[in-house]
């Protein structure tokens, strides 16, 4: 949490230079970067600044800035959050201020709910499930089906009814400064709606009590879970700013193994799928997680959408998908990647470009221990592209694509079919980013 004096300095700097964010883009660190975050009066009514990534395109992203008093809510419990969100089809502008940490796994009276509570009455038990679908007897050629799989799905549905929060169009959800605002164990679902802002929140340990066994996933099968901390599905004009995403509370190193595979209870931290479009993700911290950010649901997703900007984010102790990109036009600039192992999470790769994705990676900074080869920072299927320049590894300018291509048969392409123009706050050098973003990225900074 930033000190009170630091929060005041951010407020003053934003007020002084917000109008300069666009014209001064690219001239360096400090106030210009912070001012590019928002325009408007107070934290709750702020809107995305002009030219600040893909979400500023067209009509821009204003969230609930036009909300009146009747649609401005302060919530401290799960039940209050559900009431404030209302119907997912109601497009009335609304502002939701989250005061403190909301535990999604509670009932309407605030009583803590456990996995056993969700399983009650469904007939599901993990012991019975494991007995029913053991590969030695059930085989590896088909997904589970039958009584125990139906019971698992029913239990999962009960949990989803409690922890999935459906966000309507024209909504701003912001954590109240100084309250350790956030949601633990829950998922914000932004689905087929336009114009949503999510800021200053910590999302922790979004856990699926009932992962499904898929013996056909990979060579040895996998346990697959259901919930992301924030999920965009067919959403447009979404701005995610100054949030923190973490598995804290339940790190994967504590997961048991069944059928020889990790019993994975976490899915994504922030996934952008199902032809979502015009999204800006900035000044967030993604940490202590495996499958961090997915852009594009599958390799067959239609083209023309999945336009996403990621800038001034910190990725620290994540295994993969930072992000995994498919199909779309994705701009990654001024991000920091610290790929040292953290809390048991060890690097697989940072950026994956596949399914003809068109990625521009510009002026990002990687901190890489000597035990990790630079060729491991990227991944791809041979059809994706990564262009860009100014990327630093331990302070040295490095051609990441050349390093990857020299070590892999499926080459990443080096040209893209578009040129980024929505680049407010772009810094011409990544040199100072680790020190800068250590103070300005993640929840608890805004005031």
CB 296 within 8 A of CB 323: no
Helix (H) or strand (E) holding 83: helix 78-85
DSSP letter for 390, please.
Answer: -
How deeply is 26 buried, as exposed, middle or buried, from its count of CB atoms within 10 A (0-12, 13-18, 19+)? Answer: middle
List Cα–Cα distances, 25 to 22, 51, 282, 336, 389, in angstroms: 5, 10, 15, 19, 17
- What residues have CB less than 8 Å from 73, skipping those under 6 apart? 80, 83, 84, 94, 95, 96, 97
Helix (H) or strand (E) holding 326: strand 324-326
Strands 194-199 and 187-191: what pairing?
unpaired
Helix (H) or strand (E) holding 149: helix 147-163
For residue 323, whether the previous peptide bond is cis, meaning omega lies within 30 degrees of 0, is yes
Catalytic annotation, residues: 321
């Amino acid at each position: 949490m930033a000190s009170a004096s630091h929060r005041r300095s951010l407020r003053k700097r934003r007020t002084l230079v917000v109008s300069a964010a666009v014209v001064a883009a690219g001239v360096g660190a400090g106030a210009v970067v912070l001012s590019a975050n928002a325009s408007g009066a107070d934290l709750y009514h702020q809107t995305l600044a002009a030219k600040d990534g893909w979400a500023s395109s067209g009509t821009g992203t204003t969230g609930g800035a036009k909300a009146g008093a009747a649609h401005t809510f302060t919530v401290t419990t799960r039940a209050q959050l559900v009431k404030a969100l209302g119907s997912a089809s109601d497009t009335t502008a609304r502002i939701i201020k989250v005061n403190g940490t909301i535990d999604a796994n509670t009932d309407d009276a605030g009583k803590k709910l456990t996995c056993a509570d969700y399983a009650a009455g469904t007939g599901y038990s993990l012991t019975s499930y494991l007995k029913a679908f053991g590969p030695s007897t059930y085989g590896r050629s088909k997904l589970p089906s039958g009584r125990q799989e139906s019971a698992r799905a029913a239990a999962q549905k009960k949990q989803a009814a409690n922890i999935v929060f459906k966000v309507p169009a024209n909504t701003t959800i912001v954590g109240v400064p100084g309250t350790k605002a956030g949601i633990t164990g829950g998922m914000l679902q932004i689905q087929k709606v336009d114009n949503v802002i999510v800021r200053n929140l910590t999302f922790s340990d979004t856990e699926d009590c009932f992962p499904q066994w898929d013996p056909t996933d990979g060579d040895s099968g996998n346990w697959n879970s259901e919930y992301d901390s924030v999920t965009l599905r067919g959403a447009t004009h979404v701005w995610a700013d100054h949030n923190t995403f973490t598995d804290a509370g339940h790190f994967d190193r504590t997961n048991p193994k069944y059928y020889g595979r990790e019993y994975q209870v976490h899915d994504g931290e922030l996934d952008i799928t199902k032809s979502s479009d015009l999204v800006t993700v900035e000044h967030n911290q993604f940490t202590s997680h495996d499958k961090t950010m997915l852009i594009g649901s599958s390799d067959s997703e239609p083209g023309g959408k999945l336009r996403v900007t990621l800038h001034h984010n910190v990725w620290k102790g994540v295994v993969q998908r930072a992000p995994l990109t498919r199909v779309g036009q994705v701009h990654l600039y001024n991000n920091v990647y610290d790929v040292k192992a953290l809390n048991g999470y060890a690097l697989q790769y940072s950026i994956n470009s596949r399914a003809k994705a068109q990625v521009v990676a510009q002026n990002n900074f990687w901190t890489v221990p000597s035990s990790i080869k630079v060729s491991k920072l990227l991944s791809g299927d041979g059809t994706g592209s990564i262009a860009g320049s100014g990327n630093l590894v331990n302070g040295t300018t490095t051609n990441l694509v050349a390093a990857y291509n020299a070590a892999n048969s499926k080459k990443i392409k080096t040209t893209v079919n578009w040129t980024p123009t929505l680049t407010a706050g772009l810094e011409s050098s990544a040199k100072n980013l680790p020190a800068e973003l250590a103070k300005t990225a993640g929840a608890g900074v805004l005031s």
